[in-house]
Every structure is written in structure tokens, then in C-alpha cells.
Structure 1
Amino acid sequence: MSESEPQITLYRLQACPYCERVVRVLNELDLSYRSRFIEPMHSERNVVKRVSGKRSVPAIVDENTGVTMSESANIVEYLETTYGDGGAA
């Protein structure tokens, strides 16, 4: 597994407070990630719907664990549990 290629992809919108909350946690945990900015128009968010089954953002795909999820509170909890002090990392 290459260290240079981020294993986490974050699907997000510009100026989205829920997305920024996830970004803050990713940065606090010092996790590298790739940002994919998606269409602001809800009906055109087919990219994120293909990966997560929903059109809501933020959504993440974590190739380390095979987890795909949306909803900022769930993502934050997942990241802290998986990569924070409570996890094995």
C-alpha cells in the first residue's frame, strides 16, 4: 500500500459546515485524504450516489477498511473510533 496515495476519499461541497466538521477531524487525526467536490444541485449528485447510495454529503470512502458512509456525525464517530485514541492506530 502506497503512503503517497490517500486511502480516504471525502465527497464534499464548498462551504458546507458538515463537510468542514469532517475535514477538521481528518486533520486533527492527521489522516491524508482526497477531496472530491461535488455538484451543489442535489439532483445532480450522481457521483456520490453511486458510491454511498445517497446524494447527501459529506460522504467518505475508506479503502483501508472498505467502509463507505455518509452523515457527518456518523463519519466523525467512525474516524475517531477507527483512527483516534480509541482505535488501534
Structure 2
Amino acid sequence: MTDANVRIPAAAKDRLAQVAAAEGLSLRSYLSRLADEVLTPAERAERAEQARQQLARWTGYCPSPEEEKALDVELDRRLARGAA
């Protein structure tokens, strides 16, 4: 495996090293594990879509984006009224 150098502030490196040590890992191992576990924006969007589809199969409820927006507006209105 080829190594790479990444320039980050010393405070960030020290914090990551502390977290890694607390988990019994070297900083290198911790960062490798983190890179394997963190999702890219595309992966997050794909998982969100899969979750929406699964929910629709389980519940039969699958609002359109327009319906979701209208529901958000209504919720915001009710929350504002309740806070007043």
C-alpha cells in the first residue's frame, strides 16, 4: 500500500491521534478505517433513496417531493404558532 501525505493543522492531527489511541489503533489504522466507513455524498443519496423505497414498500406511504415540501411548510407553520 502506498502512503500519502495529508497536511492538516497540528491540533487536528493531535485530536485524531488521541481518538485513535483511545480505540487502540494507530493514527494510520484509524484513518484507513474512517475512510472505509465514511460515505460519499453520492453514497448517502443512494442509501436515502433505498430507505425511501423500503419505507414505501412497508407502509405504502411515499410522498412526492412536492408533498414533502408542503408538509415541511405546514410543520414549520405549526411550530411557529406553538412557539408564539
- TM-score, normalised via structure 2 length: 0.28
Question: By percentage of residues, which structure has more strand?
Answer: 1
Which has the larger helix fraction? Answer: 2
Structure number with larger C-alpha Rg: 2
